[in-house]
């Protein structure tokens, strides 16, 4: 029993890192431009499918495909930003309008993936020699260890970017007060586009890593990851990047420890119970303000 619990905790933390990465992307986008990226999970799924496609065509390791995914998704972020967001920011109710527009984009993306790759679950041959690592009496899946570790590094880099560089300072400033930042002479559109790029870059990375940690990808999985991102973000606080990391850990742990005590299919409910409890006692989330 104890060893099962410890394994659940470790895999909860590893998944929590991935969930945190997804949530941080969403929170940077929301914090900077008050746009709820409903298509977050679909962008992640797109990255996973590109990894799958690269693997099929050139037998690339998913970690190597990230070299292509990262600039691609950063650029995609700029493109999506300039196509939609400035218009939305001018509408009557920018938050709600953006929510609906990105919902539309999520439908378009998931049906495009369905048309291109079909409805069957897809997977890639496992790229490493060993499937799991044993430490003492515990066994850990190697794919998740690598994915989790990679996420950890990216999250550290992101925290360095946000808290140690001038650019990060600008991003944190624009999250706090958009008008004040534009008065100070910072190009808010460029900064927002950059933040959108970062958000999609993070979710693209998560997509490449997800294909390592889970055996198969399907065109239906996008919305469930969007939902994960929502729960993570609300637990931690909407618009606070670090809160999303915290929310990711809570969600990952709740899901995995829950799976020890109750049927696997029911374990996501724990996360939702957490969500509802959080809303009742602290609607702004753990690190959210006001």
Which residue in the block uniquely carries the two structure tokens 């690269």? 54
Given the DSSP bridges, would you call strands 138-141 and 132-135 parallel, antiparallel or unpaired? antiparallel
Stretch that binds other proteins, among 16-24, 106-114, 120-128, 164-172 (CB under 8 A): 106-114
In this structure, how many other beta carbons lie within 10 angstroms of the beta carbon of residue 64? 15
- Output the smallest distance, CB 92 to other proteins, in A: 7
Q: Are 212 and 52 in contact (CB under 8 A)?
A: no
Instruction: Rule CB under 8 A: choose which of 147, 238, 246, 253 binds other proteins.
Output: 238
Distance CA 219, CA 167 (A): 36
Site for other proteins contains 116 (CB under 8 A): no
Site for other proteins contains 234 (CB under 8 A): yes
Which residue in the block uniquely carries the two structure tokens 């724990």? 270
Stretch that binds other proteins, among 100-108, 133-141, 194-202, 248-256 (CB under 8 A): 100-108
- Output the smallest distance, CB 233 to other proteins, in A: 8
Nearer to other proteins, 78 or 103 (CB): 103
Q: Are 237 and 288 in contact (CB under 8 A)?
A: yes
Site for other proteins contains 84 (CB under 8 A): yes
Distance CA 208, CA 142 (A): 15
The token pair that represents 166 in the structure block: 């001038």
Site for other proteins contains 266 (CB under 8 A): yes
Site for other proteins contains 79 (CB under 8 A): no
Residue 80 CA neighbour count, 13 Å, CB half: 27
Q: Please report, as ranges, the residues that interact with other proteins according to CB under 8 A.
A: 36, 84, 87-88, 91-93, 95-97, 99-101, 103-112, 114-115, 223, 227, 230-231, 234, 238, 263, 265-266, 268-269, 272-273, 275-276, 279-280, 283
């Amino acid at each position: 029993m104890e060893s099962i619990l410890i394994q659940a905790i470790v895999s909860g933390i590893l998944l929590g890192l991935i969930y945190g990465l997804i949530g941080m992307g969403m929170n940077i986008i929301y914090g900077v431009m008050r746009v709820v990226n409903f298509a977050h999970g679909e962008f992640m799924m797109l990255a996973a499918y590109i990894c799958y496609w690269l693997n099929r065509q050139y037998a690339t390791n998913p970690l190597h495909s990230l070299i292509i995914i990262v600039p691609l998704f950063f650029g995609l972020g700029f493109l999506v930003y300039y196509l939609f967001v400035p218009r939305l920011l001018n509408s009557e109710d920018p938050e709600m309008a953006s929510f609906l527009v990105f919902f539309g984009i999520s439908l378009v993306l998931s049906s495009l993936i369905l048309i291109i790759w079909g409805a069957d679950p897809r997977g890639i041959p496992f790229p490493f020699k060993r499937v799991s690592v044993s430490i003492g009496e515990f066994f850990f899946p190697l794919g998740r260890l690598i994915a989790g570790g990679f996420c950890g590094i990216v999250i550290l880099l992101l925290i360095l970017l946000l808290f140690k560089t001038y650019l990060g300072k600008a991003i944190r400033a624009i999250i706090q007060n958009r008008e004040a930042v534009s008065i100070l002479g910072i190009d808010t559109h460029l900064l927002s586009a950059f933040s959108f790029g970062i958000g999609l870059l993070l979710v693209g990375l998560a997509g490449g890593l997800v294909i390592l940690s889970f055996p198969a990808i399907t065109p239906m999985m996008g919305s469930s990851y969007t939902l994960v991102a929502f729960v993570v973000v609300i637990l931690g606080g909407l618009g606070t990047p670090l809160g999303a990391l915290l929310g990711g850990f809570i969600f990952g742990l709740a899901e995995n420890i829950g799976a020890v005590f109750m049927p696997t299919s029911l374990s996501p409910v724990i996360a939702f119970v957490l969500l509802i409890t959080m809303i009742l006692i602290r609607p702004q989330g753990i690190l959210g303000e006001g």
